[in-house]
Amino acid sequence: MIDVLAAVRAHLREHFARTGVTADPDEASVTFLGTERIDVLRFGPDDAGISHYVSLGCSRHPMFDPTEMVTDALHGPRAEVVVALRGPSPAGLARSVAIVAAAPAVEGLVLEPDALIDLESPLWEAASFTAFLLGRSDIDDIPLTPPLPPVSVLSASPITATEAAWVRLKGADAMREAWLQDGVDVVDPARSAARPS
């Protein structure tokens, strides 16, 4: 049986090495009661001063909606999440990343692009952001031995409570369009919220 997490780790190292980040990632481990360990790997900072915080542990098991009558415990989707931020590592971010990565096991969530994961508390110390908006990242899917599906690595953009409300009302694409129009730099941990009209 393939070691899914080893395959994901090797793929991540190859991906970031191609971007010029060749040092071993810093690593933090978080365990929640009744769940398996989630590691958070920090790659970088890169030449632009951006660090990437990637979960490792969510893809250990396939995700499925517990309300479905029939679940496929083998072929269900698998994912990890990555948060990209400029500057020093914020205290508490690794725990927030781990909470999202543990959500499929704890709450039966299926992580997928455009999903809104609202933690309803600051994502790190003194942060104005309380939720993540998931999307596709620039990390290629990680192939596993068939019949297992590949592991996708989803970007997790920190958003404010106001932006989360906008996503619920108008959708993820409208939020991203507002960021473009407002020139919002979503990797800036000190950015202000977009003000979509």
CA distance 23 to 12: 12
- Which backbone phi and psi does 7 adopt, to 5 degrees? -65, -40
| Burial of residue 104 (number of CB atoms within 10 Å: 0-12, 13-18, 19+) | buried
CA distances from 100 to 103, 121, 132 (A): 5, 13, 9
Please give the residue that has the higher pLDDT: either 67 or 111: 111
The amino acid at 146: P
pLDDT tens profile 7-62: 999 999 999 999 999 999 999 999 988 889 999 999 999 999 999 999 999 999 99
Kind of pairing, strands 151-159 and 131-136? antiparallel
pLDDT at 34: 82
**Is pLDDT of 66 > 90?**
no
pLDDT tens profile 105-127: 999 899 999 999 999 999 999 99
| Burial of residue 12 (number of CB atoms within 10 Å: 0-12, 13-18, 19+) | buried
- pLDDT averaged over every residue in the chain: 92
- Per the listing, tokens 């979503």 go with 186
**pTM metric for this prediction:** 0.94
